[in-house]
Each structure stands twice: as C-alpha cells, then as structure tokens.
C-alpha cells in the first residue's frame, strides 16, 4: 500500500496557531505531512530558514508523521524532486482565496499532476497572520492564543537584538 503524503508549503515567518491548526488537520487525511519552508519568498523574512526550521521542528516534535524541510526555488520543482503531488493550504478569507487561486493555476500550468487541497480556517484563527503577530510582539504586546510559546520567545529574542 502506498504512503499518502502531502506538502504544506509556506513562508512561516513565523508560524502562527492558524498554520499549526491547518497542518494538524491535514495530518488526519494523510500518512505523512511535509511542512516545506520556502527559503526565498517575495517577502522579507525576519527569521532565517534555519530559525524557521527550528521553531517548526520544536512545535511538531511529538508528531512523528510531520516532517519539516525547506526548499529553494520553485515549489513545483521541490514537489517533483520529492515525488509528491498534493499540496495543502489554508484559506482565511476572500483575499487568501484570490491569492491561492492565482498560485494554484500557475503551479498547475508548471506541474499538471499537482493537486491542491484547501482547508478553511477555524473561526478563532481567521484574523491571524505572521505579520500581525510580529507587530504585536515587537510593540510589546502578548500573543497568547495566537502562536506557540517558542515563537513568542524567538520574536522577543529578535527584539532584543
Ligand atoms: O506562507 P505564504 O507566504 O503564503 O507561502 C507562499 C509560498 C511560499 C507557498 C509561495 O510563495 C511559493 O510557493 N514560493 C516558492 C516559489 C514559487 O514556487 N513561486 C511560484 C508560486 S506560483
């Protein structure tokens, strides 16, 4: 019997509780989830790839079916390289939908066998984003209920520097 694998790609700069919720829900549908951190995104990241890997590995350390990896260049090339043709992403609102729609069509053009599964956010995460969490912590707020304690700790360390 073949192993059902899906990739959850993203910037994860930093991971939010919304990301964690989507990944944990995705794992119920697959044997293995690969959380794939994009090294180069159009966004200026605050955390290095190694720091993002470290946070996600810590968050999922008890989940044997979740692997954390990173990739350079195109997502479709990474999917081909590891032989996976299923992507899982979360959707919070209409602007996510439009962004995902565009990305999906572009990725599908490049890799027609690729399929996409979208999980709708659970209500309590619909307002969360990596940038909101960064701003909250950088300005002295608390992010309880929005991100894992390791993320808050790492953001505070960045602030000190
Ligand atoms: O968490 P994000 O920033 O919404 O994730 C976006 C991500 C990383 C999935 C997307 O930017 C991506 O796939 N980047 C890798 C480069 C690539 O393949 N770009 C073409 C996308 S159509």
> Using one digit for the tens of pLDDT, what is the confidence trace for 87-142?
999 999 999 999 999 999 999 999 999 999 999 999 999 999 999 999 998 888 98
Which token pair is 46? 């605050």
Which domains, and CATH codes, for the chain?
5-126 (3.40.50.620)
Asked about 80 being catalytic, the answer comes back as no
Q: Is 161 a catalytic residue?
A: no
Sheet holding 5-10, edge to edge: 66-71, 32-38, 5-10, 86-91, 115-120
Q: Is 130 one of the catalytic residues?
A: yes
Query: What does the pLDDT look like over 7-39, one tens digit per residue?
Result: 999 999 999 999 999 999 999 999 999 999 999
Whole-structure pTM value: 0.96
Q: Which residues line ligand 1 (CB under 6 A)?
A: 9-11, 38, 41, 43, 74-75, 103, 106-107
The residue whose C-alpha atom lies closest to atom 1 belonging to ligand 1 is 10
Q: C-alpha 155: how far from its chain's center?
A: 17
């Amino acid at each position: 019997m073949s192993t059902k694998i899906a990739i959850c790609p993203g910037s994860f700069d930093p991971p939010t509780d919304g990301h964690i919720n989507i990944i944990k829900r995705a794992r119920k549908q697959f044997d293995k989830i690969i959380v794939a951190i994009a090294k180069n995104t159009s966004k200026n990241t605050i955390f290095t790839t190694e720091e993002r890997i470290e946070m996600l590995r810590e968050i999922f350390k008890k989940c044997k079916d979740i692997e954390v990896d990173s990739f350079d260049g195109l997502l479709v090339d990474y999917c081909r390289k590891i032989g996976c043709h299923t992507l899982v992403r979360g959707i919070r609102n209409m602007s996510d939908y439009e962004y995902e729609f565009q990305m999906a069509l572009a990725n599908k053009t490049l890799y027609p066998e690729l399929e996409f599964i979208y999980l709708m956010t659970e209500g309590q995460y619909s307002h969360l984003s990596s940038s909101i969490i960064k701003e909250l912590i950088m300005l002295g707020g608390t992010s309880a209920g929005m991100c894992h304690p390791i993320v808050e700790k790492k953001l505070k360390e960045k602030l000190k520097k």
